[in-house]
Structure 1
Amino acid sequence: MNILVIDDAPMNVALQCHLLGKIEDCRPVSFLDPESALAWCEEHIPDLVMVDFMMPVIDGVEFIRRFRCIYGCQDIPVLMITANDEVELRYQALEAGANDFLIKPIDKIEFLARTKNMLALRRNQRYLEDRAAWLDVEVRKATAEIRKREQETVLRLSKAADSRDPETGAHIVRMANYSRVIAEQLGLSAAQQQLILEAAPMHDIGKVGIPDHILLKPGKLSIEEFAIMKKHAMLGYQILAESQSEMLQVGAEIALSHHEKFDGSGYPHGLVGEEIPLFARIVAVADVFDALTSERPYKTAWDIDKALALLHEGAGSHFDPQCVAAFVADWPQILEIKARYQEENEQDQSYGLY
């Protein structure tokens, strides 16, 4: 336990350090200059502070005020050393943050008793701090394990939905990673980037409720068939929306709104511009680009430049222009994602950035 002793009188410092030597596991750190003591506290956190009041330049009360402003020193026990007649001073010291007082001339027995009491207080503080840190680590471990299982469940459900669709598991991994890149370029936090990476694969989970003869139809859908197909957005929302999981709640939002268009011509609610949730606007760009540039049984893959031209043409009508600009802002990373996650490697794929 490090005990900081501050007094401008060398004899007083020597006496206090001598008495502290009688307490087991204590190491006195002494200063004659309070400013040097404050500088030391910027780099080290003491376990107890003993400070005299009568000192030049900085008195004991001012020392305590400055000491309490140092990070990590707000709760460190402080003993102020005063004379018997300095009652008003003690009030000031208490307001500044002093915990107890030692009266001059120092009594050996009182000195040791008050010091041991303050050190017992500090030991309990350290125990609670260590306990809190341990609990925080354990909670983080448990939360990470729960989140890992949640992510695996979501990915498997998303692939189950895609297994009924001509699209593939590789598609949902690519578009999720494209979505994260867009979020990054828009300046979203690392936590938000991770969240959209995890939630984006659920965008079409509502397709589990669409009949096969419509979902798997190779040709153009009739007006009636398309009306049924559009229901997958609301179905996906209904599947996910009641969850307590933030990831699933965001997945519900994306599932509901990723077919909305920036000019209001999309479905299911005809939202306009920023009425559309940001994550849904991001996923719309990522999803369409990957769908266009991927080969399907009913179509060949578009050339990348052609797909990119469509995104630029649709900026402001179909797509949020800022999301399109963010998508192309880190083009090398987009191409790297497209090359990394291919259908032939689908068995080995997860979200890729976990």
Structure 2
Amino acid sequence: MSSSSAQTDRPVILVVDDTPENLVVLGECLMSDYQVRVANSGQRALELANTLPRPDLILLDIMMPGMDGYAVLGRLKADVHTSRIPVIFVTALGATEDEAYGLNQGAADYITKPVKPAIVKARVQTQLQLKQARDILYDKNAWLAHEVERRVEQYHKLQDVVLRALACLAEVRDNETGNHILRTQAYVRELATEMATLPRYAEVLTPDVIDAYAKAAPLHDIGKVGIPDNILLKPGKLTPEEWVVMMTHAQIGADAIVRAIQLEPDQDALSFLHDAIDIARHHHEKWDGSGYPDRLKGDEIPLSARLMALADVFDALISKRTYKDAFSLERAEAILLEGRGQHFDPDVVDAYLRRRDAFARIAARFAEKPPEGEAGVLP
């Protein structure tokens, strides 16, 4: 190994003292084993502490003109880049209370003047070994935190995929596609995010709650798996008797999610499914109390279900079905406005109006591709 590379590998020690003689003594004591930098003022010490490579250790005099050692230490600890550098006070202040005060301020050790080279070397070596151990632990903790974050994100993505897969079972039977799930999920998130700006909903619609609503939204029609094909896939108008059966999908979906939750002992891990129960059961309730299955009215309807109600109807309006063509965005909006205060929560309709451009972008992004040879309907 060359002498220059060996020099680079050695720890960096910053010695701070306003007396040149003290800098010479400490420098000569340490330079055979370490890279030594010197500063004759507090301000210069801070500059060198932020010069790469940063010091591995700082020997800091307390009694200096202008900025004393305590002030320098405070600045070092307040800077994220230098806060973890150990500092040893080197000072003529030898009283016990002085030493205690310095340690309480965050110093790693305390050496009194006149210094003894053997003591300085031993204290420096001890603090460097401790710093190395702390750095290893810090790096491992940082890696562990990153790994936990990565695993949690991976778990949430897997959870979302599984939920969408389950929801697609119902959508496929209803001649719809997974894009309906993506669109309505995005609509719910837009509505919730907009309503969170209102004082009435700010404390309720936290980022975590909004995420839970969006995560639960794909399960809104999961109960359709329990509806007979002759009713679910009927191209024409349903009879009153068939409508009674069709409306049971809300209850079927909610009951299925309840049973799934009961099989899992860790209820906290599935807290978002409680929102899915509300959405599945109540997204066909109406603001005026004329909906189903429980004829809830106004704020009796869970907020998640009120958001889902508008998202679901909006998407049904702009989508082509066997019994109708796709409506334009303008016509769909007119129907939503007509239902404000009757079918829909007025606040939710108003939130849609403020986010109509976002709705249009979502509709375009996840638009259905028309069959080959058939013209699509532009929103």
TM-score by length of 1: 0.82
Instruction: Quote how far apart the aligned CAs of 1:196 are.
Output: 4.6
Q: Which position in structure 1 is the counterpart of 2:375? A: none
The counterpart of 1:181, out of the listed 190, 195, 199, is 190
Q: Pick one of 117, 140, 145 that aligns with 1:131.
A: 140
Picking from 319, 322, 335, the partner of 1:310 is: 335
**Would the aligned equivalents of 1:64 and 1:98 in 2 still touch at CA under 8 Å?**
yes
From the superposition, tell whether residues 73 and 320 of structure 1 become closer, same or farther in structure 2 (CA, over 3 Å): farther
**Equivalent of residue 154 in structure 1, options 163, 174, 195:** 163
Give the stretch that moved more between structures: 75-84 or 125-134. Answer: 75-84
SS at match of 1:5: strand
Q: CA deviation at 1:132?
A: 1.6
Number of corresponding residues: 343
Task: Give 1:38-187 correspondences, 5 Å limit.
Answer: 38=46, 46-71=55-80, 73-83=82-92, 85-186=94-195
Match of 1:285 among 298, 302, 310: 310
What do residues 63-112 of structure 1 show as CA deviations (whole Å, max 9, x unaligned)?
33343333355554221112374222112112212221112111111111
Q: CA RMSD in A?
A: 3.1
Give the letter aligned to residue 22 of structure 1: S
Q: Select which of 25, 31, 34 maps to 1:15.
A: 25
Q: Which letter does structure 2 place at the counterpart of 1:104?
A: K
| CA 1:328–1:104: 2 relative to 1, 3 Å | same
Alpha-carbon distance between aligned partners in 2 of 1:319 and 1:204, rounded to the nearest angstrom = 18
> CA separation of 1:303/1:62 partners in 2, compared to 1, >3 Å: closer, same or farther?
closer
Residues 1:34 and 2:42 are matched in the alignment: yes
Q: Secondary structure of the equivalent of 1:80?
A: strand
* Secondary structure of 1:262's aligned partner: coil
Cα distance, 1:161 vs structure 2: 0.8
Q: Quote the offset at 1:226 in angstroms.
A: 4.0
Structure 1: unaligned runs, 5 residues or longer: 347-354
Cα distance, 1:43–1:156 mapped onto 2, change above 3 Å: farther
Q: Report the Cα distance in structure 1 between the residues aligned to 2:51 and 2:341, rounded to whole angstroms.
A: 54
Structure 1 counterpart of 2:220, from 193, 203, 212: 203
CA distance in 1: counterparts of 2:26 and 2:215, whole angstroms: 60
| Alignment gaps of 5+ in structure 2 | 1-10, 198-204, 372-379
CA deviations 1:148-195 (Å, max 9, x no partner) are: 332222222111111222433332222223333334444577776665
Judge conservation of contact 1:82–1:102 (CA < 8 Å) in 2: yes
Distance (whole Å) between structure 2 residues aligned to residue 277 and residue 308 of structure 1: 23
Structure 1 residues 288 and 100: CA distance shift in structure 2, 3 A: same
Structure 1 residues 76 and 279 mapped into 2: Cα distance closer, same or farther (>3 Å)?
farther
Aligned mate of 1:219, from 237, 253, 265: 237
- The separation in 2 between residues aligned to 1:15 and 1:274, in whole angstroms, is 78
In structure 2, the CA distance between the partners of 1:15 and 1:189, relative to structure 1 (3 Å rule), is farther
Q: AA paired with 1:81?
A: V
Of all paired residues, the percent bearing the same amino acid is 38
User: Cα gap change, 1:122/1:275 in structure 2, threshold over 3 Å: closer, same or farther?
Assistant: farther
Instruction: Report the CA distance shift for 1:174/1:27 in structure 2 as closer, same or farther (over 3 A).
Output: same
Query: Shift of the alpha carbon at 1:117?
Result: 0.7
Distance 2:190 2:144 in 1: 34
Distance of 1:40 and 1:190 partners within structure 2: 42
| Cα distance per residue 1:297-342 (max 9 Å; x no partner) | 2233334322101212222332233332332334344333323333
Q: What's 1:237 paired with?
A: 254
| Aligned residue number for residue 296 of structure 1 | 321
The structure-2 alpha-carbon separation of the partners of 1:260 and 1:119, relative to structure 1 and needing over 3 Å to count, comes to farther
Task: Tell me the distance in 2 between the aligned counterparts of 1:2 and 1:260.
Answer: 70
Map of 2:351 onto structure 1: 326
2:271 corresponds to 1:254 = no
Q: Secondary structure at the match of 1:306?
A: helix
Shift of 1:291: 0.6
> Larger relative contact order (C-alpha < 8 A, sep ≥ 6)?
1
Structure-2-length-normalised TM-score: 0.77
1:5 aligns with 2:15: yes
Q: Could you say which residue in structure 2 is the equivalent of 1:351? A: none
Determine the C-alpha separation between the residues in 2 that align with 1:258 and 1:37. Answer: 65
8 Å CA contact 1:42–1:70 kept in 2: the answer is: no
Tell me the distance in 2 between the aligned counterparts of 1:20 and 1:132.
Answer: 32
Q: Measure the CA separation in 1 of the matches of 2:153 and 2:66.
A: 53
Aligned-partner Cα distance in 1 for 2:282–2:70:
61
* Pair 1:234–1:104, CA change in 2 (3 A): farther
Label 1:105 to 1:209 Cα distance change in 2 as closer, same or farther (>3 A): same
Tell me how far apart the structure 2 counterparts of residues 237 and 316 of structure 1 sit (CA, whole Å).
Answer: 26
